[in-house]
Amino acid sequence: MFRLTQIHQRIDERLRLERRKRRPDAGELFRLARLKQRAKRALARLSPAPALA
C-alpha cells in the first residue's frame, strides 16, 4: 500500500510539471492521468472498507 501511495504521488508530481509547461503535451497528460487513476483504484481496492454505523 505504501508503494502504491508513492507511485500515485510521483505520477501526480509529473502531471503538475507537465501542466506547468508552456506547451503541455496532451497525450502525455492523458497517459499520466490514466496511470494516476489506475493507482488510485488499486489503493481503493487495498484499503479497508469503512465500517457501517
**pTM of the predicted structure, to 2 decimals:** 0.80
Closest CA to 41 of 17, 19, 11, 14: 11
C-alpha cell at 47: 484499503
Which residues, other chains included, contact 39 with Cβ-Cβ below 8 Å and sequence gap of 6+? 4, 7, 8, 11
Residue type, 25: D
pLDDT > 70: what percent of the chain?
94
pLDDT > 90: what percent of the chain?
83
> Looking at residues 13-19, what average pLDDT do you find?
97
Where are the domains positioned within the chain?
2-46
Confidence of residue 25 (pLDDT cuts 50, 70, 90): very high
